Structure 1
Amino acid sequence: MAVSEDRQPLIATLKKAAYLLKDAGIPFCLAGSFAVYARGGESVDHDIDFLIKADDAERVLATLTEAGFRGEVPPEGWLVKVWDTTEHGDLLIDLIFCPVQRPVTDATLRDTDIIAVNACHMPVLSATELMIHKVLTWSAHYCDFARGLPVARSLREQIDWPRVYRETTHSPYAHAFLFLIDRLGVMSLAEASALSAAV
Structure 2
Amino acid sequence: MSEPDGAGRREALKRVAVALREGGIGFALAGGYAGWALGGPEPENDVDFVVTEAEAGRAAEVLTAAGLDVHQPPEDWLFKVYSDGAMVDVLFRLASEPVDAVLLDRCVEQEVLSVRMPVVDATDLVIGKLAALNEHACDLSKVLPTARALREKVDWPRAEAATAWNDIAVACLFLLRRLRVVTEE
Q: TM-score, normalised by structure 1?
A: 0.87
Task: Flag the structure with larger Rg.
Answer: 1
Q: Tell me the CA shift for residue 43 of structure 1.
A: 3.4
User: Which 5+ residue runs of structure 1 have no aligned equivalent?
Assistant: 1-5, 193-199
Q: Deviations over 1:80-105 (max 9, x none)?
A: 11111x2xxx1111110011111101
Give the whole-Å Cα distance in 2 for the aligned partners of 1:180 and 1:130. Answer: 18
Contact 2:6 2:44 in 1 (8 A): no
One-letter code aligned to 1:179: F
Partner of 1:23: 22
Q: Tell me the CA shift for residue 7 of structure 1.
A: 5.2
Partner of 1:173: 168
Give the whole-Å Cα distance in 1 for the aligned partners of 2:79 and 2:48. Answer: 10
1:147 aligned onto 2:142: yes
Give the whole-Å Cα distance in 2 for the aligned partners of 1:43 and 1:176. Answer: 25
Q: Higher relative contact order by CA 8 Å / sep ≥ 6: 1 or 2? A: 2
1:11 aligned onto 2:10: yes
Q: 1:27-42 maps to which residues of 2 (within 5 A)?
A: 27-42=26-41
Q: Deviations over 1:19-72 (max 9, x none)?
A: 111111110000001001100111323111000011111111111111211111
* 2:181 alignment partner, SS class: coil
Among all aligned residue pairs of Structure 1 and Structure 2, give the percentage whose two residues are the same amino acid: 38
* 1:143 alignment partner, SS class: coil
* 1:41 alignment partner, SS class: coil
Q: TM-score, normalised by structure 2?
A: 0.94
Q: 1:30-109 maps to which residues of 2 (within 5 A)?
A: 30-84=29-83, 86=84, 90-109=85-104
Worse-matched range after superposition: 154-163 or 65-74? 65-74
Q: Tell me the CA shift for residue 107 of structure 1.
A: 0.3
Q: Tell me the CA shift for residue 17 of structure 1.
A: 1.1
Q: Tell me the CA shift for residue 73 of structure 1.
A: 1.4
Contact 1:132 1:167 in 2 (8 A): yes
- CA-based RMSD: 1.3
> 113, 123, 130: which one pairs with 1:128?
123
Give the whole-Å Cα distance in 2 for the aligned partners of 1:147 and 1:39. Answer: 16
User: Which 5+ residue runs of structure 2 have no aligned equivalent?
Assistant: none
Runs of 4+ in 1 over 4 A off after TM superposition: none
Give the whole-Å Cα distance in 2 for the aligned partners of 1:36 and 1:140. Answer: 24
